Amino acid sequence: MVKQELENLIRDKNATVGVIGLGYVGLPLIVEFALKGFRGIGFEVDQAKVDQLNAGTSYIPDVPPENVKKCVDAGKLSATTDFSCLGECDVIIVCVPTPLRKTKDPDMSFILSAGEQIKKYKRPGQLVILESTTYPGTTDEVLQPMLEEGGAELDKDFLLAFSPERVDPGNPQFQTHNIPKVVGGVSKDSTEAAAFLYDQIVNEVHPVSSARVAEACKLWENTFRAINIGMANEMARLCNALGIDTWEVVRAAATKPFGFMPFFPGPGIGGHCIPLDPHYLSWKARQHGFDSQFITLAENINSSMPKYVAGLVRDALNDAEKSVKGAKILILGVAYKKDIDDMRESPALSVIDLLRSRGADVFYHDPFVSEVTFDHAYTIGDGEPLRNQELTDDLVKGSDCVVICTAHSTVDYERLCANAKLIVDTRNALSEDHRNGSKAKIIRL
């Protein structure tokens, strides 16, 4: 019986765990398995990443390099671009990107590519788990038929499950081992085997009745955030129109001990999950004739925020009798959230392009990001690459406007306020003391 044999291997730590995709999700996961005594093989198409890992170094800030080195030196972790090694794995976990097409429909190409490799090198007795965020039905509609080609049978020859990733880059409080793991298989045996596997590395496992429930769970989590951030952004615009301090309002509302959860406005939403995942849910809804109005409305509000921020900059410059065209504008932070280097879907990139398209001379400071190329942004402007500028007093003094898009904790905001002429703060990075002691005009979201 596949399940029993596999659980015996897992219990004795004799199971080899393969992870396809060694990014923000896959690398922490495989290192966690290796630290717990399992042999881990990482599969990547990027040779540079493979070389770094095999040399015992880490390119993900949340994964300490000493942990990678420890696992590599112990012979528990290796990386390769050779997918034929999938045949050595008892467990294969897929952690590849799931972006959107330009039409905002799901791009399944990475999952399909991983599936083709698994199909090519599969052997009897393997457990395959998909962690990539996707629409309900992907695991059993897409991966299961691929694994069944050639006559293989579920539960007899292989097991298949879905377990959504819940990575929060840059969050030191919640990492792989202490984030509850939802697991849903396409069969009862698949659920139980996958849950038993994850139970070896995480504190809590929550099995559900099917892979589709687990897939929907992930989309619900991120759609919940997207919709509530959309409401926070709309409330911020309303409060600004009414002359009310947005941040004071949300702090006051958060004192209610029940029935309220604070969400905060910003220049837009970024990262690989929140801007994209609701589209997977709404796309699947359309296949069933369902119009997901909340999701559409939230996406419209959130995607309009960079334009709203650019409008705040324009209006503030006009009040100072300056035009956007020719203005020197310093963007503070281009990563999508503070204290990380991840620029995926960062709203700061849209703000930059909108300002450049209006003729502004835009430059940026971000201690985590050395360069922004036109590949990263939407290139509404001229698309020329930008390089990180050292945050000197002269740089700030020479700027007509400073726009805080990401509130990195490394920035000296008191010094910033002492030297800036005009600041547009989209993240509430400036405390009341900063604002009170500043000579700069400060516009807050």
Pairing of strands 361-365, 422-425: unpaired
Enter the tokens of residue 99: 């972006």
CB contact set of 103 (below 8 Å; sequence gap of 6+): none
Q: In what order do the strands lie in the sheet with 91-94?
A: 77-80, 39-43, 16-20, 91-94, 126-130, 158-162, 181-185, 205-207
Helices (H) and strands (E) in the chain, counts: 16, 15
CA 436 to chain centroid, in Å, comes to: 35
Pairing of strands 371-372, 126-130: unpaired
413 φ, ψ to 5°?
-70, -30
Tell me the C-alpha distance between 220 and 223, whole Å: 5
Tell me the C-alpha distance between 84 and 81, whole Å: 9
Kindly report the three-state secondary structure assignment for every residue of 115-167: HHHHHHHCCCCEEEEECCCCCCCHHHHHHHHHHHCCCCCECCCEEEEECCCCC
Tell me the C-alpha distance between 373 and 386, whole Å: 6
Helix, strand, or coil (residue 325) = coil
Helix, strand, or coil (residue 95) = coil
- Helix segments in 205-260, DSSP class H: 211-242, 246-253
Q: Taking a C-beta distance cutoff of 8 angstroms, is the pair 421, 399 a contact?
A: yes
Catalytic annotation, pick one of 71, 95, 217, 273: 273
Tell me the C-alpha distance between 75 and 82, whole Å: 18
Cα-trace Rg, the chain: 24
The sign one gets for the Cα dihedral 229, 231, 237, 241 is negative
273 is catalytic: yes
Please state, in angstroms and as integers, the Cα–Cα distance from residue 331 to each residue in 355, 388, 390, following that order.
10, 10, 12
Helix, strand, or coil (residue 424) = strand
Cite the active site residues.
Answer: 273
